[in-house]
Amino acid sequence: MTDPITHGWQVGRSIVLELQFVLFWGILSEQRRFSSAAVQRLIADIPAAWIKELTTLLGAESTNELPLDYMAWIAQTLFEDDYSAGTLPIRELTLAQGVELLAERLPAGERSVAGSLAERWQENGSHLIRSALRRAAYDATAPDWLDRRLRLGFRQMIPLLRNGEHHSRFWHWLDRFYYDRYREWRVSQTENMAAQEQQGIAALGGRSGSGVPPLDWLPPINALRHRANLAATVATGEWSLVFWAQPLELADSVTILPHQLVVAFGDPSESLARFVAFSENVAQRLKALSDPTRLFILRLIRRFSMDNTEMADVLEIARPTVSVHAKVLREAGLIHTKQIGRQAQHEIDAAAIRKLVDDLLVLLDLPEGE
């Protein structure tokens, strides 16, 4: 077991964290569109039937993150680089053993001892992580939402523990994904991971050390650069810090555990460029809807299929003004226009408008149910 639970810092790897992000940031989340080209090729190679099977196993709320990282931390395998070493202790855990391990990680006065094993598992698990977030001065803006999400994650883990309803099927799925897809892809990223590790070692002056490590070498988008509370937590020297080298090119990920922070430090250029381009595209389409007159025009087209002359009469504006508004909507892809005689006939593109709304939700990371 390689789980560092003492003070100090190190550059390390984590196969479980990698799989966590691939599953829930890549396969099951629309946020995958911001991933690097290499990650997108990996995801594109996964059969649709596999994805459907995974979604069925995890249920309708599968866009929430399954706490594999917390499980690995509890089992002290979070910083294993080998797949078997990282996952085997997790898959062998029963619910009773998991509850016992959680209790060992909590002060006696903070443990829940009432209720069923499942209730104690959810209560103690969510309390453990909430306490870590609070001690790290992580300013959660929606504590009730965070609590629900943590409880949901620990609840979703129960059927996947040993003797659980979906234990065999889930771990078979993960084994197949790892050995048939991920392992070979990960090998192709060996040089990138090694270069990332060397970058961290060079900036920190070694692979591990004590005291407070420098943070100014991290990219500006990294949480330890732009979240003053987290940087202050590191500055106390009371938390261990793992600089996570990974093949996913993550630059802003931070995992907060009891007295331990795990921070990704990949090159953000590609994913950030994708995000900026997507933001600009969404903003341009939203701009077409930012004028109340154009919204009114969309309604008239939708309800009455009016041409420019008819809409000009209803809105009491000049016909050329309607033409200008229609052009903006058309260039944004929200309507289609065809010429019938001397009149322009418009048709709303309902799918394009729905896609704009969906893209806005993706941009703001607001999945359904949240």
Predicted confidence (pLDDT) at residue 138 exceeds the cutoff of 90: no
d(CA 45, CA 181): 8
Average pLDDT over residues 341-353: 89
Cα distances (angstroms) measured from residue 178 to each of 15, 154, 186, 191: 10, 23, 10, 19
How far is Cα 226 from Cα 28, in angstroms, rounded to an integer?
28
Residue ranges per structural domain of the chain: 8-267, 272-363
Cross-strand bridge partners of residue 240:
8, 260
Please state the pTM of the whole predicted model. 0.85
- The Cα angle at residue 297 between residues 291 and 298, in degrees rounded to 5: 95
State yes or no: pLDDT of 360 exceeds 90.
yes
Mean pLDDT computed over every residue of the chain? 90
- From CA 264, how far away is CA 327, in angstroms rounded? 45
Mean pLDDT of 164-182: 97
pLDDT at 60: 62
- Could you report the per-residue pLDDT of 278-331, keeping only the tens digit for each? 999 999 999 999 999 999 999 999 988 888 999 999 999 999 999 999 999 999
d(CA 149, CA 314): 49
Taking the C-alpha atoms of 7, 10, 13 and 17 in order, what is their torsion angle to the nearest 10 degrees? Answer: 40
Q: What is the pLDDT of residues 31-61, one digit of tens each?
A: 888 888 899 999 999 999 999 999 888 876 6
Q: What average pLDDT does range 94-103 have in this prediction?
A: 94
pLDDT at 205: 96
Provide the pLDDT for residue 124: 93
Both tokens of 234, joined, read 């590191």
- Which DSSP letter does residue 181 get? I
Residue 275 confidence (pLDDT) above 80: yes
Q: Is the pLDDT of residue 356 over 60?
A: yes
Cα-Cα-Cα-Cα dihedral sign, residues 153, 158, 162, 168: negative
Cα–Cα distance between 77 and 125 in angstroms, integer? Answer: 17
Cβ partners under 8 Å of residue 101, min gap 6: 74, 75, 93
Mean of the pLDDT values across residues 243-256? 92
Confidence of residue 161 (pLDDT cuts 50, 70, 90): very high
Could you tell me the two tokens for 92?
């062998």
Q: Which CATH architecture has domain 272-363?
A: Orthogonal Bundle (1.10)
Find the range with the poorest average confidence among 32-36, 69-73, 181-185, 335-339. 32-36
Residue with tokens 């395998």: 77
Amino acid letter, 280: E
Locate 20 and state its tokens: 């966590």
